[in-house]
Amino acid sequence: MRLVAIDEVAQTCSLKRGQGLAEARAMYPDIDVFDEDERADFALLEAIADWCDRYTPLVALDGKDGLFLDITGCTHLFGGEEAMLRDVLARLFQMGFYVRGSISSTPGLSSAISRFGPGGVITREDMSAALGALPVHALRLDEKAVASLLKLGLKRVANLMSMPRAPLARRFGAQLLMRLDQALGTNEEAISPRRPVASLSAERRLGEPIQTEEDILGMTAEIASSLKLSLENRGAGGKVFELVLFRVDGRVFRISAGASRPLRDPKRISGLFSERLNAIHDDLDAGFGFELLRLNVLQHDVFDDLQADFSGEERRETSLADFIDRVSARFGAGCIQVYQHRQSHIPERAEIFLPAIAAPERQPQCSETLQFLPRADRPLRLLRSPEPVEAFAALVPDGPPQQFRWRHVLHTVTRAEGPERIAPEWWIDDENAKERDYFRLESELGRLFWVFRLGRYGDDPPPTWRIHGVFA
């Protein structure tokens, strides 16, 4: 067992990372040791990254203990780079984290300076000087490369920078030069943000934290109305919205809600979240309140501006979309579904469900498909899967049974229609799949069943009977 991390006191006591635990115990018998919990560490880092979303939407993870924030174009909102860095560090310090940070033109240099240097803001002119003063560990190289550099006495980055490049590449591989170039900005390095960037977003910083649901919804509507103008300028409406709630103590809640049609109306947008808040009521712990609310438009679509007419038809359409959105927001998209017809003869494959929110626009649909459909009789209720029945005295080879037992009830058949043969789809099922012969069977009480025989007589194993649905 080895030490993976040490606190400040331990650092002054000449303990080191990577040291054996037995050795450390021998030096200081009364040290406290905890097992590493990688998952908890990662969750903490993620939570801090969530919190950092307040500064920029582009937050990426740097290893196990670092974060990259791409603050291009954001600094003026926080009073410049110096002030922003101070703000980040101070707030995190108040939350109980000791954090070091720096701002520079490249992720590589920022990472190196915050981990191995003095931190702070590095201007473009100071880049090479600042990097040169650092030890070679700062270049994010693998351990083997660092060890071989140290063996040759190349302890500082400045030593490498003054050397000719070709022999360095030959000796230590391309990685060394790549890292060096990335730190100095001659080679572009992209960070990978944790979340997709919203196409539009707006936020409100609150002097007084809010706690109640009404306040949150009211604020959402207000933010949405400030988004409305930008949506109108783009001729778009939002389809997927995300409400990000930053709690005073640093916890971040994300609530997303979808709409079946592009939305702009602030009232309807806040209506979506009202259902979502209802649904997740218990999970949303307001604590001491939320200090920052942000509304993101994650997905938007073309919004058709329509002039309202005096007939009620248009209103019915919007109220339908509104209802679907509310239901989907409250119970999930799978709760309300529409039928979708598929090109198949197998009954359970011919008709499937699609979430109503994702279904294509309900335009006046082509009625030709309706006409070309088989006019054969189909049951009104289809069982989830065909259930086996015990059939008696069926006429061989292709007749209906005289009696059958389903769910322990014996039904006597008075009339029968069929068979309607449905051949298996060999391109999906199998070449050996058996065909089904469907019968409509009427029992003496007038109940009508849809029963099929799977397979043919004379086959081995013998055919079996299943029930697949009931008629009206």
Partner 1 sequence: MAHAAAAQEKLFALREQIARLEGRSLPAMAAAKMESFVSGSSGEERLSFDIPALDDALSGGLPLDCITEIRSGSFSDAGAATGFSFSLVGLMKARKAAAGPMLWIADSFSSGEMGIPYAGGIRQFGIDPRAIFHASPRRLEDALWLAEGALESKAFIATILEVHGNPKSFGLAESRRLSLRAKAAGQPLFLLRHAGEEEASSASVRLLVEPAPALERSLPDGSMLGGSIGHPVFNITLEKSRNPAPLSFRLEWNLDDRQFHLARDPGKSSFHKWPAHSGASLSASADRQDRPKAVGAVVAFERAS
Q: In angstroms, rounded to a whole number, what is the distance separating the alpha carbons of residues 374 and 371?
A: 8
Query: Per rule CB under 8 A, is residue 366 in the interface with partner 1?
Result: no
Distances (CA, A) of 171 to 127, 143, 148: 25, 15, 10
The stretch near partner 1 (CB under 8 A) out of 5-13, 170-178, 263-271, 316-324 is 316-324
Nearby residues of 329 by Cβ (< 8 Å), 6 or more positions away: 257, 258, 272, 273, 275, 276, 279
Q: In angstroms, rounded to a whole number, what is the distance separating the alpha carbons of residues 348 and 428?
A: 13
Nearer to partner 1, 145 or 338 (CB): 338
Cα dihedral sign, 47-48-54-55: negative
Considering only 306, 381, 458, 461, the residue that binds partner 1 (CB under 8 A) is 381
Considering only 316, 349, 421, 456, the residue that binds partner 1 (CB under 8 A) is 316
Nearer to partner 1, 245 or 324 (CB): 324
Query: Per rule CB under 8 A, is residue 415 in the interface with partner 1?
Result: yes
Nearer to partner 1, 4 or 380 (CB): 380
Query: Per rule CB under 8 A, is residue 383 in the interface with partner 1?
Result: yes
Query: Per rule CB under 8 A, is residue 338 in the interface with partner 1?
Result: yes
Q: In angstroms, rounded to a whole number, what is the distance separating the alpha carbons of residues 197 and 72?
A: 14
Q: In angstroms, rounded to a whole number, what is the distance separating the alpha carbons of residues 240 and 300?
A: 7
Query: Per rule CB under 8 A, is residue 365 in the interface with partner 1?
Result: yes
Nearer to partner 1, 144 or 362 (CB): 362
Considering only 45, 335, 433, 454, the residue that binds partner 1 (CB under 8 A) is 335
Minimum distance from residue 416 beta carbon to partner 1 (Å): 8
Distances (CA, A) of 158 to 116, 128, 136, 218, 446: 14, 8, 9, 57, 94
Nearer to partner 1, 120 or 271 (CB): 271
Q: In angstroms, rounded to a whole number, what is the distance separating the alpha carbons of residues 450 and 459?
A: 23
Minimum distance from residue 422 beta carbon to partner 1 (Å): 12
Q: How many residues bind partner 1 (CB under 8 A)?
A: 50
Query: Per rule CB under 8 A, is residue 322 in the interface with partner 1?
Result: yes
Minimum distance from residue 408 beta carbon to partner 1 (Å): 12
| Residue 154 near residue 136, CB atoms below 8 Å | yes
* Beta strands per DSSP E along 14-138: 59-62, 66-69, 102-103, 120-121
Q: In angstroms, rounded to a whole number, what is the distance separating the alpha carbons of residues 154 and 148?
A: 9
Nearer to partner 1, 228 or 330 (CB): 330
Token pair in block for residue 120:
């702070």
Considering only 288, 353, 426, 457, the residue that binds partner 1 (CB under 8 A) is 353
The stretch near partner 1 (CB under 8 A) out of 26-34, 252-260, 319-327, 454-462 is 319-327
Query: Per rule CB under 8 A, is residue 341 in the interface with partner 1?
Result: yes
Closest to 269 measured CA to CA, from 308, 242, 236? 242
Query: Per rule CB under 8 A, is residue 378 in the interface with partner 1?
Result: yes
The stretch near partner 1 (CB under 8 A) out of 43-51, 144-152, 303-311, 463-471 is 463-471
Minimum distance from residue 445 beta carbon to partner 1 (Å): 6
Q: Which one-letter DSSP state was computed for residue 356?
A: T
Q: Does the N-terminal peptide bond of residue 364 adopt cis geometry, omega within 30 degrees of 0?
A: no
Nearer to partner 1, 34 or 372 (CB): 372
Token pair in block for residue 158:
């400045």
Nearer to partner 1, 199 or 443 (CB): 443
The Cα diameter of the chain in Å comes to 99
Phi and psi dihedrals of 21, rounded to 5?
A: -70, -40
Minimum distance from residue 295 beta carbon to partner 1 (Å): 24
Closest to 343 measured CA to CA, from 418, 258, 428, 284? 428
Q: In angstroms, rounded to a whole number, what is the distance separating the alpha carbons of residues 434 and 421?
A: 11
Query: Per rule CB under 8 A, is residue 380 in the interface with partner 1?
Result: yes
Query: Per rule CB under 8 A, is residue 327 in the interface with partner 1?
Result: yes
Q: How far apart are the first and last CA of the chain?
A: 72
Minimum distance from residue 271 beta carbon to partner 1 (Å): 12
Residues 423-452 binding partner 1 (CB under 8 A) are: 440, 442, 444-448
Considering only 9, 308, 370, 396, the residue that binds partner 1 (CB under 8 A) is 370
Closest to 256 measured CA to CA, from 264, 245, 265, 247? 245
Q: Which residues bind partner 1 (CB under 8 A)?
A: 316, 319-320, 322-324, 326-327, 330-331, 334-339, 341, 347, 350-351, 353, 356, 362, 365, 370, 373, 377-384, 409, 414-417, 440, 442, 444-448, 469-472
